[in-house]
Structure 1
């Protein structure tokens, strides 16, 4: 590939900068925390201290989404549990890093048994005599009905793997776009499409995000070598195209219809791939069908997947500026803030998504708008979260700053975010790397005792499926359509409001939900029954 072509594709096939690793390794979880100013309280909450340790440890592992190699052999479901050394938990967390530090194994080569990265275990029910029944129920984890991960690929799949894993003539290049979780979904589908076409996959290219200006490379966020090893029995992954494969002009495919089947993919592209030896895809978001054959669904799951002093809640609070622009909703912060969003929306009409003919009021009542900080606070309180509950806020900078956050801060003062927990200047190198910052949020959210998103989207769906996959951790999905009118009903008492909220969310707290109950459900959000079976 020529230099011009490589630049146009935003080539991510580079080696990591050694100075980058030096900076990460300089961050020790045992470093002295920054001193508090005179205006700050010197009493540090144990949650803040320990999450700080975990976030610092995150940097030691060059984060996130590290893919763990799984044997392609058929494994009985009973052998696979979240605590098993061969458990197919593919997304990185901090526990293995912590174990490596404590056992002085940091410099040894990882093996199959020592490189497993899983979230730290939940605490279970709080042991306190002062909790009400509602408060105890809020923290109680679902039992999972015996469903545990089981990626037992078929014999035909494994026979074909010996050929596909050695492919050296046909290559697939994929350019992925969007935020971290949107990119993640496209990477999953890129692997599956490479398998369908029996092609080698070039490490995906991350397109510069036009909203945030994020220029992160694949290797900035994902562990490339782990990614390759994880998939070595499914698809051959290479860092770059060989010199024998030049990129022809007008070769990028970006007009793939939505929800296409494997048969359509093969019929449309297999001949071209066999002739030219190269395909370049761009814009894969939701292009591949959610309803795939069992082996390909398992492959999807395979690609895609804090123990602290006291339990904590993770909130994915979607109240950033771009969210208000894209959803077409009112911020609830006043006319001056809504005017800013309206002007942004008028200058970028293509940012607005879905139901363009609906009014803001109708859009909100239909459940298409994020919940505000006030609505989230009232919902948490109604479901049994006490005011002293520890809360981690995931998400970008809220539009409206402290004004937007004030309602939840007043009701839940024990709030932390990555910005609050990091030492001075520690996040500075990543302020223009939203995907890296989102990865930190993902790890801390995954290990929380309770997760609640204020809006749908890729992070919420990914977290729903991943939390089920690692032991059915509680996931509360707000029933916005049924509850929003209650927020505006001043005649309803607080006791009645709480009762209704508990009934509305009785079956939305992480219990097992089957993907086949509704058409086109995403296996990444609903891994039962394809990727999890009864123990």
Structure 2
């Protein structure tokens, strides 16, 4: 049955054809009755009317059957438990941003107006309509009480979000109940937060109750039985591989523990499983109430002053170590990074045989504060713009941010926005602080990441899902040569930057089954389609 929320109630298709038939005019147009008609004419007319009505009825039934016409949703109530009745609940469960400001007034230049203009979403809206086979299986899988899956999610906040989404998909593939995921202690930040400290666990369970069964703890009947722990999982595993490798084992033992899931599940899943990932990422993983409330308060404090930019500046010490890049702060700071990198070469994630200059021109280095300032200025960001810095503590402290503050003095952080004591409950809890940054960034009019990463990809997909909010992805490989060319004037530089980024503003971008594109970052077309009625 069609989803009533996102299908327009249209007239039956045959009504559009009736006016072209004489019979239609006869049946549907008012006609004056002749005075004192002959009895034989009355009998003949009635007989003809009944005959024509009968024939027309047969024709219409044949037409409807051949065209699979569905009556308007408001006419017939759902008659099957398989009908999609989740849409009203899903439309309320998504984490949505504050509205974009739109036109910012008459006292700005056309370039500035263009900077704030939101991209054309081309009519795409969320559509999580699962197939009939998926929904039939849900009645059984969502009540599973014999097989249980435990997943340990590692890394930072957005790495954990990705692994939790994959865990739900794997539980579905294995037809297992999922124990609320365990968040591994973050060795870099020392964060010992549990799932319920970061996410709303009850909301997580409720949102997924039609897809899988989620339980808070392992049942006592499974605690002392045989347990299988798997941490060495190959990359790009498929549903077929998962089922063949673990299903019989899980059915025998009743409990399976998976670790090290980061980026192991294939990006090219069947359509229903892609929709399930979107359902987890954009609906089920709502932040815990204290985080959600403070994040919204800080977002409102930014929003009330007018349109704002959120930057995800990757200037932390570990980022410079891992990327093999120079900080731009001078030899004193670069020497510190080099020594750490040499003592811990396993941290380097880039290609070993590339020099810093090669890495930078290949787009593998984060933009530093000076480069970000030049880019924003060239794209038309007004100097008075309020900018929210969603990055962590930069290596080099205030010196690292000085070039950006010189061009855009209204740079703020959550520490500056928060009032006395508001951030105290989240001290030394990096995941909670990252979640607050996520919420404020989601509501920004423009979001710009300085260097890819999990948060950048998560916000790219989330901003697309809630209406294609502006997301400028710096084209580092194409633009950096112009940063080095002193012969290019400021006006030419601005024109070049706007042209280079004209098609990377957050417009709908199809995933197109590319092996490196996750549906959470590219929700079109599996999780979004063109509707006349908004999902939200």
TM-score (norm: length of structure 1): 0.79
Change over 3 Å in CA distance of 1:285–1:248 after alignment to 2: farther
TM-superposed deviation, 1:132: 1.7
Separation in 1, partners of 2:224, 2:315 = 41
Among 316, 321, 324, the residue aligned to 2:317: 321
1:191-249: per-residue Cα shift (whole Å, max 9, x none)? Answer: 00000000000000111111111111111100000000000000100011011112678
Separation in 2, partners of 1:76, 1:372 = 45
Q: Equivalences for 1:349-368 in 2 at 5 Å?
A: 349-368=345-364
Instruction: Confirm whether residue 119 of structure 1 aligns to residue 97 of structure 2.
Output: yes
TM-superposed deviation, 1:75: 5.5
1:394-442: per-residue Cα shift (whole Å, max 9, x none)? Answer: 0110110100000111110111110111123432332311000000000
Separation in 2, partners of 1:119, 1:389 = 19
Q: Which is greater in Rg? A: 2
Separation in 1, partners of 2:342, 2:400 = 23
Separation in 2, partners of 1:185, 1:348 = 27
Residue 229 of structure 2: aligned partner: 252
Separation in 1, partners of 2:94, 2:498 = 37
Q: Equivalences for 1:19-34 in 2 at 5 Å?
A: none
Among 112, 116, 119, the residue aligned to 1:139: 116
TM-superposed deviation, 1:85: 8.7
Gaps of 5+ in 1: 1-71, 90-112
- Name the SS of the counterpart of 1:528 in structure 2: coil
Residue 97 of structure 1: aligned partner: none
1:88-144: per-residue Cα shift (whole Å, max 9, x none)? Answer: 46xxxxxxxxxxxxxxxxxxxxxxx6x66422111112122x222211110000120
- Name the SS of the counterpart of 1:303 in structure 2: helix
Gaps of 5+ in 2: 9-85, 283-299, 532-536
Answer 1 or 2: which has greater helix percent. 2
- Name the SS of the counterpart of 2:329 in structure 1: coil
Residue 473 of structure 2: aligned partner: 477
Residue 390 of structure 1: aligned partner: 386
TM-superposed deviation, 1:335: 1.2
- Name the SS of the counterpart of 1:252 in structure 2: strand
Instruction: Confirm whether residue 206 of structure 1 aligns to residue 180 of structure 2.
Output: no
Residue 29 of structure 1: aligned partner: none
Question: What is the root-mean-square deviation in Å for CA atoms of aligned residues?
Answer: 1.9
Between 1:250-259 and 1:450-459, the stretch displaced more is 250-259
Change over 3 Å in CA distance of 1:461–1:524 after alignment to 2: same
Residue 158 of structure 2: aligned partner: 181
Residue 420 of structure 2: aligned partner: 424
Separation in 1, partners of 2:446, 2:257 = 40
TM-superposed deviation, 1:491: 1.6
Separation in 1, partners of 2:196, 2:249 = 29
Change over 3 Å in CA distance of 1:534–1:116 after alignment to 2: closer
Separation in 2, partners of 1:168, 1:181 = 30
TM-superposed deviation, 1:372: 0.3
Contact 2:101 2:445 in 1 (8 A): yes
- Name the SS of the counterpart of 2:309 in structure 1: strand
Contact 1:88 1:149 in 2 (8 A): no
TM-superposed deviation, 1:250: 7.9
Separation in 2, partners of 1:116, 1:367 = 33
Instruction: Confirm whether residue 453 of structure 1 aligns to residue 430 of structure 2.
Output: no
TM-score (norm: length of structure 2): 0.78
